[in-house]
Amino acid sequence: PVPEADLPVRLPEDVSFDQPGNPLDRHASWKNVPCPSCGAPARRETDTMDTFVDSSWYYARFADPHNETAPASAEALARWLPVDQYIGGIEHAILHLLYSRFFARAMRDSGHAAVAEPFAGLFTQGMVVHETYRAPDGQWVAPYDVRIEAKDGGRRAFLVDGDVEIGIGPIEKMSKSKKNTVDPDDIVASYGADTARLFVLSDSPPDRDVIWSDEGAQGAWRFVQRLWRLTGELGHVAAPVGAEPPAAFHDLALAVRKATHRSIAQASENIERLRFNSAIARIREFANELTSALDAVTETPVPDDLAFAFREAADALIRLVAPMTPHVAEECWADLGHKGLVAEAPWPAADPTLLAQEMISLPVQVNGKKRAEILVAHDADEETIRKEALAQDGVQRAMEGKPLRKFILVPKRIVNVVV
C-alpha cells in the first residue's frame, strides 16, 4: 500500500482524452515511479475507483467530519448511526442504497462500525412526469412548442408555430430524449420558486409521480398570491406581536383559535409522516376558515379577544406554510411585524385544551385489516371522513387499485373499507 505520508495520490492534470482507453496508462511520468519501500522502478495502479465507492459510505463520514486521523471513529458511529431516514428514488433500490448496505456490513465485519443496516427508515419518492408529444415525422416535440386546444370534449395538440397537429403521447418520466422536460429556470422566472415548490408538494403524495401541468402551477401561484393578501388583511386586525391573551374568548375568537390549533395538529402530523400534500390541503382549509372569520367581523376595531386570536392564527399560518413556500413566508412574517426570520421561529404547538372534543382518531381497515389511522373533527360528516380515509397511503396500497365496493363508518369508532 502507499505510505500514509504519500497520500493523497493526486491524478495528473495534463492527460489526453483524444484516444480510447484509460489516459493514465499513457501518462508515463505519472504511471512509472520508484517503489516507496525499496526504491526500485515500479508502476502505479491506473484503475480508479467509481464514485459510488465514495458515496456508499458518506453517511459514516458525516458522523465524524472533522476527524483527521480516520474516516470516522467507532464512538461517533455508535452515537449517530443508523441514519433515521433515507429518501431516494426507486432506482436507489438497486444502486446507492444497495451499495451503502454492503459497505455498512463490511465496516461492521472489520470492526469499524457496530451497525449492519445504515438506515433506519426508507422512503421512496415519486418523479415529476409530463405528457409526450410527437410530430407527424416522428420527432419528439417539447411542451413549450405545443399549443393545446379543447374540442368536442377532448384535447388536441398543435405546433405553436403553425397549425400542424401533433400526437399526444403517454405521460412519462421527464427525459431529454423525449423532450418532455420543463426547465426549472423557466418555471421560477414565470411563477417564482415558491410556486414550483408548492405545486410539486401539493399535487400528489410524495411517493407517487407528479404530473406537471401549467394549470396546476397556476393554481399554486394563485394560492401564494392569496396567502400574501390574507396576511395583509390579518395584520390590520391582529393584536401586536407578543400581546398577552385576554381572560376570556367569545364565540368567534374561540372558533378562530380552535381552527388554528386544529390546523397545527393536523399539518404537523402530516408533515411528520411525509404527507406534504395532506398538510398543504389542511393549510388551504385553514386559509378558508380565516377568510370566513374576517368576513364575519362586524365592528372595528375588533375586540381584544378576537385581535389576539387573529394574531395567533396569522403567526401559525405563516409558520406552517414556511417549509413549502419559504420566500413569501419570510415576507409575510416581516409584514406581520416580526423582526427575526420565520425560519428561526419555533414550530407552533397545538394546545390540547383547544383540541379537546374537537378531534378524534379513527382506525381505518381495508378488508378487515388495519391500514391507517386518521385524525378528524369529532363532528366531521361521512363524506369528509371518507375522503380522508381513502387518501391515506396505507389504504391506497392495500386497495391495489381495486374499485371500492363498500364504505362502512361506525361513528366515532372505526372506518371499514371493502374492495
H-helix or E-strand spanning residue 140: strand 140-141
CATH of the domain at 145: 2.20.28.290
Residues 367 and 303 both lie in one domain: no
- 73 secondary structure, DSSP code: -
Residue 170 in this model has a pLDDT that exceeds 90: no
Inform me whether the pLDDT recorded for 11 exceeds 70.
yes
Of 2-6, 102-106, 409-413, the one with minimum mean pLDDT is 2-6
The end-to-end CA distance of the chain, in Å, is 63
CA angle 189, 192, 193 (to 5 degrees): 115
pLDDT category of residue 200 using cuts at 50, 70 and 90? confident
- With bands split at pLDDT 50, 70 and 90, how would you rate the model's confidence at 357? low
Q: What domain range is 137 assigned to?
A: 127-182
CA distance 82 to 409: 40
Residue listed under C-alpha cell 512509472: 32
pLDDT digits (tens, 9 = 90+) for 38-58: 989 999 999 888 888 888 999
pLDDT digits (tens, 9 = 90+) for 299-326: 888 999 999 999 999 999 999 999 999 9
| Section 228-243 average pLDDT | 96
What DSSP string describes 199-264? Answer: HHHHSS-TTS-EE--HHHHHHHHHHHHHHHHHHHHHHHHSPPTTPPPPS---HHHHHHHHHHHHHH
Any idea what the CATH number is for the domain that residue 367 is in? 3.10.20.590
DSSP state of 119: B
Question: What is the tally of structural domains in the chain?
Answer: 4
User: Is it the case that residue 76 has pLDDT exceeding 90?
Assistant: yes
Q: Say if 110 falls within a structural domain.
A: yes
Give, in order, the Cα–Cα distances in Å from 302 to each of 292, 314, 319, 337, 361.
15, 15, 24, 18, 35
Average pLDDT over residues 5-26: 89
Residue 124 pLDDT grade (very low, low, confident, very high; cuts 50, 70, 90): confident
- Helix intervals (H) in 273-325: 276-295, 304-321
Q: Are residues 259 and 139 in the same domain?
A: no
Judged against a pLDDT cut of 90, whether residue 406 lies above it is answered with: yes
